[in-house]
Structure formats: structure tokens, C-alpha cells
């Protein structure tokens, strides 16, 4: 226990009503500032760090904090009730415990390195879909190459091997980080705990071989460009007994001749005749699954937009469909005969004033 009588809240610079999040933030800040490794030559840094570590051990635990607020520091001194931690001195083995995320920030390391080192790499493969396939979902056959564990040597890369003398077969060595000691993979054997004396002839010591896979992948309805489907365990081989990585299928949806997609909504330009726009009509509108009928009101203008709710793409997350927006475009007939010209000139008289009135001063 650090020899200090200062109030724990004062040590961390927080109010007695401070939240656990505020206490943690205060400790992070002070730990970075006072850590002995970051203050070489400052003899007070180690003592200061011990004090704030002690304060956080108590205030960072709800039960200990409650006891401290009620009884003061006495329950935590001299191994009294509620004292289940100790002060760490140079040469001690430090278990990160609840401080793992804090010290991983400072050292760029943390627990779980063995798993990360042994797991195989993820692979990424692109696949193209038509908009119809993305709309309804599809099952696609794919073929790709990946590394798998060599069956002859079970992924070890060795026909024969011996125990690593550096780590004595554990695959780990202890490294000092100034105030603390922590384990890391043995560099002499790559964390395997053994060294190859004779390479495997099947994989030439790699531990893995190239394998061609042919599988079917199911793409759910609503897929969009940039979205991915993850196939667990179909990536590169892990080291030794490590698990293989994943295969990620990255999707590209090809353009459609009629529809433009924006997230789960569709946009369509629809040609209509002058009569349909002027008089109104029931018109057939293309949608992804075929066609639907839309009522065009009399006096509809070219460029006017209509919304068809629930006719867009299904959401890949909720399954709920977006909308389809239809913009009408009045089509001009061609070719035009002399008789057609007379008819159009008669129609021109329907305009009581120029539709461009007021646009030009």
C-alpha cells in the first residue's frame, strides 16, 4: 500500500459524486502523466503513480467505493476488510485485470495476443449482381483459392521438431516495461514453443497448402454495392491449431436500364403522352417485380414526381421496403405530318398565356 494519507477523490481530482466514467477518465489522464516510463529521471513519478493506482483500485470498484465513503481509508489499509489488492513494485508481475484497456492505450498491447497471432487471415472476394438479383436475393456459385492446414503435418510445417530452449516450450517470454512485466510471444519460435528440425515435405515447412474451393453463397434480399457477406472459417489457414480466417464477399450491384437506386428507394423517369398528362389516365408503371397501375391526375405537368410507397427495395436489416418515385416526362410525338401540325396548332390555342410568362423581364 502506498504511504499516503491524501483523500482518494483528491488524488484523482474528482468530485465525491463523480460517475464511474468520470473516475476512469481522470485515472487515464493521470496514469499517462505520471507513469514512471514516461517520466525518466523523476523519482516522484513512481510514488505518485502508486497513489493514483491505489485510489482507482478503490473508487473504480462500486463495493470498495461504498466502503470507502462509509468508513474512510481504514478498510483498505494493512490488509483489512475489503482489501484484495496490493501495491506493485518494480520486478512484480502485473496482471492488467480491469486496467487492460487503459494500459493497452499506453503500450499498444493487451491480452489476447496469442489468439490474434494464430488466427488465419481474412480473404475478400468481389461479386457482381444485377439489380433484380439484389432485390430478390440470390444463391451464387463461387470458386476461389485459399490456404488450408497441411494434413500431413497438421499445420505445424514440421516432420520432426524439438522444444524451444528460449521459452522452454511455453511459446511466451516475459518482457519488462519499466514498472511492469508482461508476457509476449517468443520471437525465437514465433510463439509455437518448438523449433523445426525437419521440414514437412508436403508443404515445404509452410504448414499450409493452396486449395481451390467451390461453394454456393447466399446473398440476402436488399444487398447494395459495398455491402459484404461474411463466410466464417472460409479464409486463410491459421498457424498451428489456430482457427482459419473468414471469407468476405463484397457486393457490387450493376446499373439498371430503368431504375436508379438510392439506399432503399428507387427512381424512375416515365414517358407519358400529352393527352395522358392533360386529361389524366390510369397508366402502367414498371416496378422491380413487374408492373403496377398508377392514377395520373388531370393537368399533370412534365417533371412532376409521384411516390409509390412500399415499391422500393427491401431493407437488408429490417426487410421493410422503401418507396419508388416516378417522374413523368411528356413525350413529343415524331415524325409530325402537316396534318399533325394543324392539330398541334389548334392545341396551342388552349394556352391562355405563355407558360414562360414572368420568367423573362
Intervals of CATH 2.10.230.10 along the chain: 123-253
**pLDDT tens-digit readout, 311-357:** 999 998 888 999 999 999 998 888 888 888 888 788 877 777 766 66
Question: Could you name the CATH architecture of 260-348?
Answer: Sandwich (2.60)
**pLDDT tens-digit readout, 200-209:** 888 888 888 8
**pLDDT tens-digit readout, 279-304:** 899 999 999 999 999 999 999 999 99
**pLDDT tens-digit readout, 217-237:** 999 999 999 999 999 999 988
pLDDT at 274: 87
Integer Cα distance of 55 and 64 in angstroms: 10
> Coil, strand, or helix at residue 164?
coil
pLDDT at 223: 92
8-110, which class in CATH?
mainly alpha
**pLDDT tens-digit readout, 149-166:** 888 887 778 888 888 888
Integer Cα distance of 285 and 86 in angstroms: 75
Intervals of CATH 2.60.260.20 along the chain: 260-348
Averaged pLDDT, 230-250:
86
Q: Are 82 and 75 in contact (CB under 8 A)?
A: yes
Please indicate, yes or no, whether the overall pTM of this predicted structure exceeds 0.75.
no
Mean pLDDT of the chain: 80
Q: Count CA within 13 A, CB hemisphere, residue 304.
A: 12
Q: Are 251 and 229 in contact (CB under 8 A)?
A: yes
45-51: long-range pairs with CB below 8 Å, 24+: 46/90, 46/179, 47/2, 49/179, 50/2, 50/87, 50/88, 51/2, 51/4, 51/6, 51/11
pLDDT at 159: 83
Integer Cα distance of 18 and 11 in angstroms: 13
| CA nearest to 122, candidates 253, 252, 228, 241 | 228
123-253, which class in CATH?
mainly beta
Amino acid at each position: 500500500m502506498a504511504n499516503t494519507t491524501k483523500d482518494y477523490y483528491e488524488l484523482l481530482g474528482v468530485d465525491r459524486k463523480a460517475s464511474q466514467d468520470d473516475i476512469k477518465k481522470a485515472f487515464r489522464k493521470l496514469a499517462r502523466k505520471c507513469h514512471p516510463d514516461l517520466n525518466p529521471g523523476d523519482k516522484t513519478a513512481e510514488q505518485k503513480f502508486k497513489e493514483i493506482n491505489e485510489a482507482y483500485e478503490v473508487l473504480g470498484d462500486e463495493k470498495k467505493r461504498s466502503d470507502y465513503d462509509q468508513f474512510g481509508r481504514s478498510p483498505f489499509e494493512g490488509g483489512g476488510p475489503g482489501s484484495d489488492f496490493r501495491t506493485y513494485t518494480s520486478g512484480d508481475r502485473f496482471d492488467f485485470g480491469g486496467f487492460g484497456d487503459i494500459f493497452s492505450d499506453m503500450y499498444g498491447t493487451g491480452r489476447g495476443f496469442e489468439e490474434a497471432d494464430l488466427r488465419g487471415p481474412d480473404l475478400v472476394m468481389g461479386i457482381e449482381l444485377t439489380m433484380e438479383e439484389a432485390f430478390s436475393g440470390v444463391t451464387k456459385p463461387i470458386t476461389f483459392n485459399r490456404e488450408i492446414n497441411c494434413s500431413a503435418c497438421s499445420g505445424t510445417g514440421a516432420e520432426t521438431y524439438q522444444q524451444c530452449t528460449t521459452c522452454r516450450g511455453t511459446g511466451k517470454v516475459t518482457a519488462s516495461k519499466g514498472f511492469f512485466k508482461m508476457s509476449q510471444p517468443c520471437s525465437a519460435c514465433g510463439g509455437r514453443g518448438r523449433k523445426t528440425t525437419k521440414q514437412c515435405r508436403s508443404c515445404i515447412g509452410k504448414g499450409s497448402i493452396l486449395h481451390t474451393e467451390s461453394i454456393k453463397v447466399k446473398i440476402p434480399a436488399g444487398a447494395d454495392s459495398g455491402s459484404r457477406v461474411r463466410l466464417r472459417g472460409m479464409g486463410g489457414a491459421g498457424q498451428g491449431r489456430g482457427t482459419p480466417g473468414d471469407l468476405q464477399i463484397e457486393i457490387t450491384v450493376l446499373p439498371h436500364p430503368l431504375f436508379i437506386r438510392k439506399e432503399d428507394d428507387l427512381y424512375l423517369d416515365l414517358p407519358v403522352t400529352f393527352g395522358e398528362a392533360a386529361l389524366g389516365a390510369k397508366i402502367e408503371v414498371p416496378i422491380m417485380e413487374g408492373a403496377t397501375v398508377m392514377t395520373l391526375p388531370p393537368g399533370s405537368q412534365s417533371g412532376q414526381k409521384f411516390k409509390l410507397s412500399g415499391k422500393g427495395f427491401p431493407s437488408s436489416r429490417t426487410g421493410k421496403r422503401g418507396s419508388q418515385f416516378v417522374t413523368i416526362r411528356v413525350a413529343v410525338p415524331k415524325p409530325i405530318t402537316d396534318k399533325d401540325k394543324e392539330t398541334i396548332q389548334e392545341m396551342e390555342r388552349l394556352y391562355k398565356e405563355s407558360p414562360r410568362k414572368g420568367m423573362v423581364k
